[in-house]
Amino acid sequence: MRKNKLLSETYRNRVMELFSSAGSQPLTEKQIAKTLAVRGSAAKHIRTLLEWMVRNGEIVRIHQNLYSLGQPADLVTGNLDVLSSGNGLVQPQDGSAEIFVGRNELGTALPSDRVVVRLDPGQVDPEARVRRTGKVIRILERSRRAVAGTLKATSRFHYVVPIDPAYTQDFYVADPKGARVGDRVVIQFTEWAHKHVSPEAEIIEVIGPETNPSLDTLTIIRHYGLRDNFPAPVLREAEASPDLLADPGQRRDLREWFIFTIDPATSRDFDDALSLTTDARGHRVLGIHIADVEHFVRPGTALDREARRRGNSVYLPDKVLPMLPEQLSNGLCSLRPDEDRLAFSVLITFNDEGAPLHTEFCKSLIRSRWRLNYGQALALLEGREPAGVAVSSTGTALLKQVHQLAQQLRARRQAQWALDLDVPEYEVIMGADGMIADIRQNLNDISHQLIEECMVAANEAVDRELSARGFALIHRVHEPPRPEKLEMLAAQLKDMGLRPGDLSHRKNIADFLKKVAGHPLEYDIKLATLKSMQRAVYSPQALGHYGLAKKFYAHFTSPIRRYPDLLAHRTLQAMLGRRRSPYGPGELAGISRECSRTELVAETAEKNLLEIKKYRFLEQQLARKQPKVYDAVVVRVKNFGLFVELKQLQVQGLVHVSTLSDKFLRYDEQRRVLCAGQVRFAVGDRLKVLPVRVDFDKRQIDFAIAGQERFMRPRVGKSRRLEQSRGTRGSRSR
């Protein structure tokens, strides 16, 4: 092993130099060994080194035994994402622009596979303004993750339809393993010989009937490989955590301060609290007090290793998968009212204009005096009587002062052209039967803005201080959008009938978003803008946060539910203790990648589970013959109908032309309108619709305009069923 490691360290750079000097000429393993003068027993390790470099994307293997640098050969290595349309996007490992791969150019690649893409001619430049396209020519590594789906059958064989629309193929299974047709199962990929037949898999778990909504959450947990139980060593450490309270260390006692929390009504873990005092000069001092998780979760422990594996808590509609065991997340670390708690406090002094003058950091001992939920805080700020909480005159006065400061901070950010992409969110309330019981709208009102601005201020202050002192840390990075994405956004907005202007500068985007406030398509405009942005990720490099208009920004304020926040606490404590940074850039780079991945998985799992629940909700209405009428807005107009979005459910579907009128309809392609006599349908129109057909497998919902469903005629679509003969099984198109 030592010789193998020594070879990798010694020869890796020489291999890279060899390919660089050789241009685009591929070399065999023997040619590489001969050129590098590797002889004897060391020569047999060359293949190990080359395969390691291939897996890491440094070089690519073309044909059976030829190796080359990716770029000179127009080859790029990256991870594959598959859209519901069946087309793919490859995210290059070198961080360059993503590559679009058409569904017919994916070969046998599956979602999350690591692949090699050959770029189409003339698209080698990673900074090109046009969207890069290419073709998958090799699969370097299968994702090997389990896939959940529904078992179905023809007269000759069984197959599984994945619940995830990213999988556009059905999987052939030779043995149902006791599962019945219609059961949800978990499968493991085995092979895919050719794209003209279906991939093959093995059933590894039977979950239960697809018709049982209470099994939806377990299905999603299995599909995304989420961790729903804590190992015994982790639980033992959590149970012993109260012993650490006996040695809290040197702390500033702030228990006499009036400190309060504001959280959702259903929250059980409170990781942030606020205070507001004045200094000797009369300046406001905002206190942001964060649960001191770092005191209880020590580096190298089982608790720490498990928290790193999880990366973050996962919030599903009817279940929370916490990053830390309940003894910590809802107990010792939670800043519950009227209990002494250990905290890490950030004290920021502001002038009258809301500009920060001074920042202080300290370990503290606090006692929350007042617990509010967002609704109660909003009522107090609006001068109304809150329900379910005792009113404190001191607390109310402080709350209003913090609100005034928060609005100053918000105005200062917007003056720097921060992007206002906040849209109404709808909270899905689940019933005991696993079905949606209620849907509540959560507006981004001034109570939410109060907390948001205070947390942004603390996160910025921590990053600014640590960066100024040269400490390595994980930053929350949001890079500027790529030019080609902004061009696509401008075209999409024009299709909506808007005139966005030049979107190449953040100021113009910010101004445009202000202008569309209150527009019927405001939600869709902001959603399209969000999709044009690069994804916010974690990185050891301070690349700034484009959306928030911040140069320095790190996550610090939620260590109960995010691992990068815990690392920021440890780094800040090292600074206060005059010690070196506890993490090096290399280790932080690895943790950043891991946490960015777990965050994306959590968001995708929540989104897909919500989609399943919404489809069930609409299906149930049709089964009971009691469809509800919904407010909808037209988001696209085609010659075959109107695509509408339900504002409350935030799902889209089609109002087919067959439901609009029994008369001839005329489609104006240039103006994108449908006309039925004197009636005209255009983007932005508000309608009342009701569901008439739901197809979960195809991810299709049909609506009819309320009162006009009498025109509904059955839609005829192509079957997506597998071919009867195993030898001609095809892929399913969605």
Query: Phi and psi of 248, rounded to 5°?
Result: -75, -10
Judgement on whether residues 154 and 256 belong to the same structural domain of the protein: no
Sign of CA dihedral 291, 421, 80, 152: positive
CA atoms within 13 A on the CB side of 398: 23
Q: Is the residue at 311 inside a domain? A: yes
Regarding whether 638 and 595 lie in a shared domain, the answer is no
Distance of alpha carbon 630 from its chain centroid, rounded? 28
Cβ proximity of 159 and 171 under 8 Å: yes
One domain, residues 634 and 603: no
Q: Within 13 Å and on the Cβ side, how many CA atoms surround 270? A: 27
CATH classification of the domain holding 32: 1.10.10.10
Query: Whose CA is closest to 362, among 275, 283, 250, 467?
Result: 250
- Structural contact between residues 648 and 708, judged by C-beta atoms closer than 8 angstroms: no
Q: What angle do CA 96, 101, 105 make, to 5 degrees?
A: 140
Q: Is 663 helix (H, G, I), strand (E, B) or coil?
A: coil
Fill in the DSSP letter of residue 541: S
Task: Report the distance separating Cα 405 and Cα 230, nearest Å.
Answer: 41
Asked whether the beta carbons of 677 and 665 are under 8 A apart, the reply is no
Contacts 24+ apart (CB under 8 A), 262-265: 262/372, 262/373, 262/374, 262/377, 262/447, 262/450, 262/451, 263/371, 263/372, 263/373, 263/374, 264/373, 264/374, 265/373, 265/374, 265/375
Closest Cα to residue 294, out of 599, 537, 595, 576? 576
Burial class from Cβ neighbours inside 10 Å (0-12, 13-18, 19+) for residue 251 reads middle
Q: Which two tokens stand for residue 317?
A: 């509609």
**13, 35, 69: which is the final residue of a domain?**
69
The alpha carbon torsion through 37, 40, 41, 44 (nearest 10 deg) reads: 60
pLDDT on residue 260:
97
Instruction: Name the packing angle between helices 302-310 and 563-576 (round to 10°).
Output: 130
Please tell me the predicted confidence (pLDDT) of residue 73.
56
Same domain, 60 and 153: no
Residue with tokens 């597998």: 722
Are 369 and 456 contained in the same domain?
A: yes
Quote the tokens at residue 70.
């990716």
Domain's final residue, options 53, 69, 85: 69
Look up residue 273 and give its amino acid: A
Q: Is 648 strand, coil or helix?
A: coil
Q: Are 359 and 461 in contact (CB under 8 A)?
A: yes
DSSP assignments along 167-211, one per residue: --S-EEES--TTPPTTEEEEEEEEE---TTS--EEEEEEEEEETT
SS3 state of residue 594:
helix
Task: Give pTM, 2 decimals.
Answer: 0.84
**Cα–Cα distance for residue pair 51/12, rounded to 1 Å:** 11
Cβ neighbours for 464, distance < 8 A, ≥ 6 positions apart: 359, 552
Residues 644 and 603 in one domain: no
Q: What angle do CA 595, 601, 605 make, to 5 degrees?
A: 145
Which CATH number belongs to the domain containing residue 162 in this structure?
2.40.50.700
Tell whether 118 is covered by a domain.
no
Cβ(734)–Cβ(170) below 8 Å: no
Q: Is residue 236 in a domain?
A: no
Cβ-contact 255, 366 below 8 angstroms: yes
Is residue 333 situated within a structural domain? yes
Q: Which residues contact 398 (CB under 8 A, 6 or more apart)?
A: 258, 260, 275, 276
Q: Is residue 509 part of a domain?
A: no
Q: What span, in angstroms and rounded, lies between the C-alpha atoms of 65 and 266?
A: 58
Secondary structure (3-state) at 266: coil
Q: Are 402 and 303 in the same domain? A: yes
CB 559 within 8 A of CB 293: yes
For residue 720, give the amino acid letter. Answer: R
What kind and span of H or E run contains 252? strand 252-253
Q: Which of 541, 426, 423 is nearest to 475 (CA)?
A: 541
Based on C-alpha coordinates, what's the Rg of the chain? 28
Q: Which residue in the block uniquely carries the two structure tokens 């696509």? A: 488
Distance CA 152, CA 85 (A): 22
Report residue 386 as tokens.
């809150």
The DSSP bridge pattern shows strands 183-191 and 171-173 to be unpaired
Residues 6+ apart with CB under 8 A from 339: 367, 368
Please indicate, yes or no, whether residues 374 and 313 belong to a single structural domain of this protein.
yes
Instruction: Note whether 372 and 439 are same-domain residues.
Output: yes
Residue 90: count other Cβ atoms within 10 Å of its Cβ: 25
Last residue within a domain, chosen from 585, 610, 635: 610
In sequence order, the β-bridge partners of residue 704 are: 690
Full DSSP string of 488-540: HHHHHHHHTT------SSHHHHHHHHHHTTT-TTHHHHHHHHHHHSPPPEEES
Strand locations in 83-164, DSSP E?
A: 88-92, 99-101, 114-119, 132-141, 147-153, 158-162
220, containing H or E segment: helix 216-223
Asked if residue 400 is part of any domain, the answer here is yes
| The pLDDT value given to residue 669 | 81
Looking at the structure, do residues 40 and 174 belong to the same domain, yes or no? no
pLDDT of residue 35: 82
- Number of domains composing the chain: 4
Query: Can you give the CATH number for the domain in which 705 is found?
Result: 2.40.50.140
Question: Is residue 405 included in any domain, yes or no?
Answer: yes
* Residue 592 to residue 49: CA distance in whole angstroms: 25
- Residues 426, 376 share a domain: yes
DSSP secondary structure, 93-107, as one string? TT----EEE-GGG-T
* CA–CA separation, 89 and 482 (whole Å): 15
Q: How many CB atoms lie within 10 A of CB 147?
A: 25
- The backbone torsions φ and ψ at residue 232, rounded to the nearest 5 degrees and listed phi first, read -55, -45
Counted residue by residue, the chain has a size of 734
Domain that holds residue 667: 627-711
Residue 101 covered by a domain = no
Question: Rounded to an integer, what distance in angstroms lies between the CA atom of residue 304 and that of residue 17?
Answer: 40
Q: Which two tokens stand for residue 514?
A: 């202000």
Give just the sign of the alpha carbon dihedral 206, 210, 212, 214: positive
From the list 409, 549, 421, the residue with the least C-alpha distance to 480 is 549
264 shares a domain with 332:
yes
Chunked mean pLDDT (size 10), the chain, 734 residues:
47 72 71 80 76 74 73 76 88 80 92 88 53 85 90 95 90 96 96 88 96 95 96 96 90 96 87 96 97 96 97 94 96 94 98 96 96 95 93 94 98 95 82 86 89 98 97 96 90 87 94 91 89 93 95 97 98 95 92 95 93 92 93 90 90 90 81 84 90 88 81 42 32 30
Please give the C-alpha separations between residue 256 and each of 252, 275, 314, 368, 369, in angstroms, as whole numbers. 11, 11, 35, 10, 10
